[in-house]
Amino acid sequence: MEVTETNSAEETYELGRQIGIRAKAGDVYTLTGDLGAGKTVFTQGVAAGLGIDEAISSPTFTVLQIYDEGRLPLYHFDVYRIGDAAEMDEIGYEEYFYGGGVCMIEWADLIEEILPPSYYRITIEKDMQKGFDYRRITVTVCGKM
């Protein structure tokens, strides 16, 4: 478990970027945290680390957005509006979870039962006593890497 404290969106972006630089084909990252915690900012950093220049928006209304122009494909999920895991079947999620790219899954707690055996869990927490822009970011390895 690794904990990083950030005090701006830029610092969270930079942490994501460092992870994007090191990411390997098949890596899955889940993102847990309230609305506005910084899950998309973190993902934008990962995209930059993968060499993706395209603007990364929140895919809330599309569930999945694919970016192919980087060092590895980026599969950006936001499952906030998904009803159940069956909807993930319709998207063909396995092709992405077990494919040759990097998956970032916002609100992954909602689809816990279909997460792969191994993944990196990223939790972003606010603490208002430490300021409006403070975030505590925890990276935990789940399963065997």
Q: Which of residues 80-139 bind ligand ADP (CB under 6 A)?
A: 106, 133, 135
Question: 61, 55, 59: which is closest to 103 by C-alpha?
Answer: 59
Can residue 76 be called a binding residue for Mg ion (CB under 5 A)?
no
Report the residue number whose CB is nearest to ligand ADP: 38
**Cβ 24 vs Cβ 99: under 8 Å:** no
Among 1, 35, 55, 86, binds ligand ADP (CB under 6 A): 35
Nearest 10 degrees: Cα torsion 54, 56, 62, 67:
40
How many positions of this chain bind ligand ADP (CB under 6 A)?
Answer: 18
Is 63 strand, coil or helix?
Answer: coil
Q: Which does 36 bind (CB under 5 to 8 A by kind): Mg ion, ligand ADP, none?
A: ligand ADP
Can residue 57 be called a binding residue for ligand ADP (CB under 6 A)?
no
Nearer to ligand ADP, 81 or 100 (CB): 81
Q: Which does 145 bind (CB under 5 to 8 A by kind): ligand ADP, Mg ion, none?
A: none
Give the CA radius of gyration of the chain.
Answer: 14
Spatial neighbors of 44 by CB under 8 A, at least 6 apart, are: 13, 16, 56
Residue 3 — φ and ψ, nearest 5°?
-115, 130
Q: Which stretch binds Mg ion (CB under 5 A): 13-21, 58-66, 85-93, 121-129?
A: 58-66
- Binding region for ligand ADP (CB under 6 A): 6-9, 11-12, 33, 35-41, 58, 106, 133, 135
